[in-house]
Amino acid sequence: MNSILSYETVSLDEREGALVILDQTKLPNEIITLHLTDIREIWRAIYTLQVRGAPAIGIAAGFGLYIAVKDIDTEDYGEFLRKFREAKDYLNSSRPTAVNLSWALTRMERVVTSNAGKTIPEIKELLHEECRAIKSEDIDMCRRIGEHGLTLIKDGAGILTHCNAGQLATSKYGTALAPIHLGRERGMNFRVYCDETRPLLQGARLSTFELMADGVDTTLICDNMASQVMKMGLIDAVFVGCDRVAANGDACNKIGTSGVAILAKYYGIPFYVLGPTSTIDMKNRTGSIIPIEQRPPEEVTEMWYSRRMAPEGVKVINPAFDVTDHELIAGIVTEKGIARPPYTESLREIMLP
């Protein structure tokens, strides 16, 4: 069997006009690729986490929007724009927290609105070029995040990560795992401890899978073991990804991340957030106004179990994300460099053209 790292997470099948994704709900036991041509299938794939990870969601949204509008049969710009925006708003409703989704869709919309004088076939081709550019830029972005992240760790370092922000969440390398994959290309070795990441187990199912495929010394721990592992002196740094970063440096990521940050602060371990500048939302002054997606209760009570593991009727709260306060973050690693406190200043400077 080919290594999981040899598969593309998200791609565009030009011949079939299909969005091609790895079905991440089946990993690590089955490697299945899906070819999606209908906008409702694409919406569902994003919502159900068949494709997941902020950058990968953005890429999928770009490809998906192009697929949804490429066959619109009209020469009228106004009608095309109306149908384009209907498709855009529909896809944007699939995941409210990850800003890369709306970022990619807005980027595609800008192509349409800034080329109103062109023919519809010309606009469609420009959309085709733009969605492909989103992916190619993502590969370069991840590599550069990896380069900057490597300056923060030494060969042999122990790193704790939460959720999956590796190649399975992007086009290549990943964000939080990019320094590790890039370091492996250069013969470096790290000890990586993966939180399982309840309730969807992205750490257990995905991060361990791709790290082991890259020959990384990988250890899986339950989420509630992080404190003990830190106390044992096994962790030199924490690397996590992000789905949205506010202007003050508050970082929204998979549920459980803020607890890891609090523990790292207590034990004096640097906690780093790694993500592209596309996840930085300067319109959000603080993380308190970032919308937090609420997921179905069945993910907590039934998923992964052969029989229901909680009593019928019990109330469940299942927020998909939490927000880590900027005071707990040692640095925010982007493709443009590492932002340090005070983030209101460093992020503003990084976001300059």
Report the Cα–Cα distance between both ends of the chain, in Å, rounded: 44
Does the pLDDT of residue 303 top 80, yes or no?
yes
Q: Work out the pLDDT band at 30, boundaries 50, 70, 90.
A: very high
pLDDT digits (tens, 9 = 90+) for 38-80: 999 999 999 999 999 999 999 999 999 999 999 999 999 999 9
206 contacts: CB under 8 Å, gap ≥ 6: 24, 27, 28, 164, 166, 168, 169
The per-residue pLDDT for 1 is 56
> In whole angstroms, what separates CA 60 from the centre of its chain?
11
Mean pLDDT of the chain: 97
| pLDDT tens by residue, 338-349 | 999 999 999 999
Whether 111 has a pLDDT exceeding 60, the answer reads yes
Q: Which of 138, 195, 214, 243 is catalytic?
A: 243
Q: What CATH architecture does domain 143-350 belong to?
A: 3-Layer(aba) Sandwich (3.40)
Superfamily of domain 4-140: translation initiation factor eif-2b, domain 1 (1.20.120.420)
Residue-level pLDDT at 14: 94
Contact status, residue 244 vs residue 97, Cβ threshold 8 Å: yes
Please report the pLDDT score of residue 96 as a whole number.
84
C-alpha to C-alpha distance for 35 and 37, rounded to whole angstroms: 7
Mean pLDDT of 139-150: 97
For residues 35 and 290, what is the distance between their CA atoms, to the nearest angstrom? 32
Judge whether 243 counts as a catalytic residue.
yes
Per-residue tokens: 327: 């005071």
Mean pLDDT value of segment 312-335: 98
Domain boundaries of the chain, sorted by first residue: 4-140, 143-350
Span 235-255, pLDDT tens digits? 999 999 999 999 999 999 999
Residue 120 is predicted with a pLDDT of: 98
pTM (predicted TM-score): 0.94
Q: Is the peptide bond before 199 cis (omega within 30 degrees of 0)?
A: yes
Q: Quick check: 98 pLDDT over 80?
A: no
Strands of the sheet containing 251-254, edge to edge, are 280-281, 244-246, 251-254, 321-324
Percentage of residues of the chain with pLDDT beyond 70: 100
Distance, in Å, from the CA atom of 282 to the CA atom of 74, rounded to the nearest integer, reads 37
Question: pLDDT digit string (tens) for 172-203?
Answer: 999 999 999 999 999 999 999 999 999 999 99
Q: How many CB atoms lie within 10 A of CB 155?
A: 11
In this prediction, residue 97 has a pLDDT band, given cuts at 50, 70 and 90, of confident
